[in-house]
Structure 1
Amino acid sequence: MEKVMILVNEEFKKHAEQKGVTVKLTEPAVSTGSVKVGASIDQNELKIDKDLPFLEVTFKVIGDKYYAPEDLSFAPSAFKYKKTSNSNPVNIRVFKDKSFTILAGHSVVNGNILPEAFYKENGQLDYSIDYSKLGAKVYAKAADGNTYEASEIFANGYFTIDNLPLSEKEYEIYVKVPGHLTSKLTTKLVQNVDGELAGVRLLAKMDKNAAGDVNGDMMVDIQDAIISVFSYGKENAGVNKGDVNQDGKVDETDLRFIEKNFLEKGPDAKENKKPKEKHGKVTLEKLFRSIGLELID
């Protein structure tokens, strides 16, 4: 926050004027987390025989981000007055001000990328992998077609998409990982507070990205199997040649992902396209047998 304006409350000012007293504001002293404000009068005495609001301090929120939803308040650390400039200050009891809520002008999405090929046998994601280097792409797509890429993907797979404009329409959250089908979440990213739109912070629960889409056509089919079988046993072949788990070689582990998710289709695949079960007379079973593997199912 930053200070915008400090004024003598109109009720206090009116009371002072009726007594023939002029109130003069003291230059505020602003420091990190606090501000010191005050005022003085140009006469020796101003009798106050009732409760009166004193100063009005207006702040402006300068950071446009999501804030905690709980009520906030300004807590006066001290309230003092002096009868004269040379007298000792007298402490006055004050009470905490009314609470308030800061409404964000944009929304934020956080979540984790969950690529199937990087799970361990115990069902846990392998956090020895630096997920920021997989070539993953994370973004939000608004109803008007505009896209907003993740500002950061961390080594543990945690991502942030920030500065999302407020809209009452749904957003689509996409997570794309090489060698995997896309994960997609459709959701609203706004709240209505007393008729005013405000931002939210959403922890997106993304589905696991199914592994096996070698050629990146958003489906797992015979084409992916053909590419992987032709590269079987090769090292440093790359994802687009069949190294789905990016361990530097195309092996049985990569082929089993294709078998597991065979004929699956991603949410961003073209509606008029269907996964191909075979290529001419070439089937998944024949491909596997050509390299000495049998289908598990």
Structure 2
Amino acid sequence: MNKQDKIYIAGHRGLVGSALVRCLEGNGFDNLLLRTHAELDLTDQAAVTHFFQQEKPDYVILAAAKVGGIYANNTYPAEFIYQNLMMECNVIHAAYQNSVKSLLLLGSSCIYPKFANQPMREDALLSGILEPSNEPYALAKIAGIKLCESYNRQYDTDFRSVMPTNLYGPHDNFHSQNSHVIPALLRRFHEAKLNHESQVEIWGSGNARREFLHVDDLAQACLFVMQQDKAHYQTQTKSMLSHLNVGTGQEVSIRELAETIKAVTAFPGALIFDSSKPDGTPRKLLDVSKLNGLGWQAKISLEAGLRDTYQWFVAHDDVRL
């Protein structure tokens, strides 16, 4: 990749997309092609085709997606599978038609089977049933991986995919009802401190273990993956430019996470774990040995990343809706 190459970031205002913009600009890539949803509807094939024909990007990072928590996935399954499939099909096909040098698809660790062996390796894909609550979204992301692989096989394109673990960081969703565990806990502890509450109650025993990756680390990993020589990448991953896991390779219990957030937010009260509530999957960890073997490792510690995210949250009143 050259610094003057035109790079289109689909979904540049989201958690991942905004981190990609920061990362690329910080590394001297300033010819970025950005469009909001109002300016370009990626589910509209004609609009996407016209955009690619007019702009001719050299590289594409597909970070746009319809995402949500368990409630949203259960309530709007048709929207999740339709919109994500359409965005992937339209962008990937247009990238092929317009001879894009390389494309990177952002996926999710939910592509792996519900009962996959831990840590989850890339070859666990399609080896078992998916978690029912987010199956439509997971199927769309699996289809995106297979779209990239299929275009590579048939047309010798250079389309790659990365599957990140649980992400957090600036521009996350801090909504009081449908946010993920880190933004939800940061908000809960912050409000408990402001309201002088004596304790914070957390669902579950606190024993479930999860892996968390700061979104700025993910962005650096994306740039690293895109800069890998095609032949070297294929040799090292032993794949047709298929998907790579991105994570820290480390896990923490929800109890350890809550204790760290308690310290980060300076909440003086007690932690109460309600073991009558579900823990969810006991463990969820990615095997990141392939990416580590290429020479990349996460750098941001969980505590440092949480402090960065909390500072951003406190500075942005508009996210506390």
Q: TM-score, with normalisation over the residues of structure 1?
A: 0.25
**Which structure features the higher share of helix residues?**
2
**Which structure features the higher share of strand residues?**
1
Q: Tell which has more relative contact order, 1 or 2 (C-alpha 8 A, sep 6+).
A: 2
Structure number with greater Rg is 1
Q: TM-score, with normalisation over the residues of structure 2?
A: 0.24
